[in-house]
Structure 1
Amino acid sequence: MANNNKTGLPPMMDLWRTSELHELGFNDRRIAALVQVGDLVRLRRGCYIRGSTWAAQKPWVRSRQLIAAHAHGTLTTSTGGLVYSHTSAARLHGLFLWDVDDRVHITTDSSASRSSHGHDAVAHGRALETNEIMLINGMPCTSLERTVADCCLLLNYKQSLVLMDHALRKGADAYKLQLMCESLAGRNGVLALRRALENADARSESPGETLTRELLQRLRIDLPELQVEVSSPEGSHRLDFAWRDKKVALEFDGKVKYFDYAPTSEVIFKERQREKALMAQGWKFIRIKWQHLFREQEFKSTVLGVLRSTS
Structure 2
Amino acid sequence: MTVDAYSWLQASTNCWRTGELEEMGVSRRRIPKLIEDGVLTRIQVNAFVAARYWNSLSETQKARFRITAHDHASRTLRPATYSHTSAARIHGLSLWRADVQVHITRPFAGSSREHIGDVVRHRAPLLPRDLDMVDGLRVTSLARTVVDCARTLSYRQGLIITDHALRLGVKRADLHDVAQRQKGFKGVQVARKVIENGSPLSESPGETLTCHLLAGMPLPMPEQQVVVRTRVGEHRLDFAWLEQKIALEFDGKTKYFDYAPTPDVLFQERRREKALMEEGWIFIRLEWSDLFTEATRAHIRKVWWKRTRSAA
Please name the residue that 2:297 is paired with.
300
Distance 1:260 1:50, change over 3 A: same
1:1-311 matched pairs, under 5 angstroms:
7-9=7-9, 13-27=13-27, 31-32=31-32, 34-36=34-36, 38-75=38-75, 80-112=78-110, 115-116=113-114, 118-257=116-255, 260-262=258-260, 265-295=263-293, 297-311=294-308
Shift of 1:178: 1.7
SS in 1 for 2:199: coil
Q: Could you tell me how far apart the structure 1 residues matched to 2:277 and 2:40 are?
A: 52
Distance 1:43 1:274, change over 3 A: farther
Is this contact kept in 1: 2:204–2:256, CA < 8 A? no
Identity %: 43
Distance 1:246 1:38, change over 3 A: farther
SS in 2 for 1:163: helix
Shift of 1:239: 1.3
Shift of 1:243: 1.1
Shift of 1:117: 5.1
Number of paired residues? Answer: 305
Distance 1:11 1:61, change over 3 A: same
TM-score, structure 2 normalization: 0.87
Distance 1:245 1:127, change over 3 A: same
SS in 2 for 1:41: strand
Is this contact kept in 1: 2:109–2:123, CA < 8 A? yes
TM-score, structure 1 normalization: 0.87
Q: Could you tell me how far apart the structure 2 residues matched to 1:98 and 1:235 are?
A: 34
Q: Could you tell me how far apart the structure 2 residues matched to 1:255 and 1:51 are?
A: 29
Distance 1:247 1:52, change over 3 A: farther
Shift of 1:39: 4.4
Shift of 1:256: 1.8
Is this contact kept in 1: 2:254–2:260, CA < 8 A? no
- Indicate the larger mover: 142-151 or 48-57: 48-57
Q: Which amino acid aligns with 1:193?
A: A
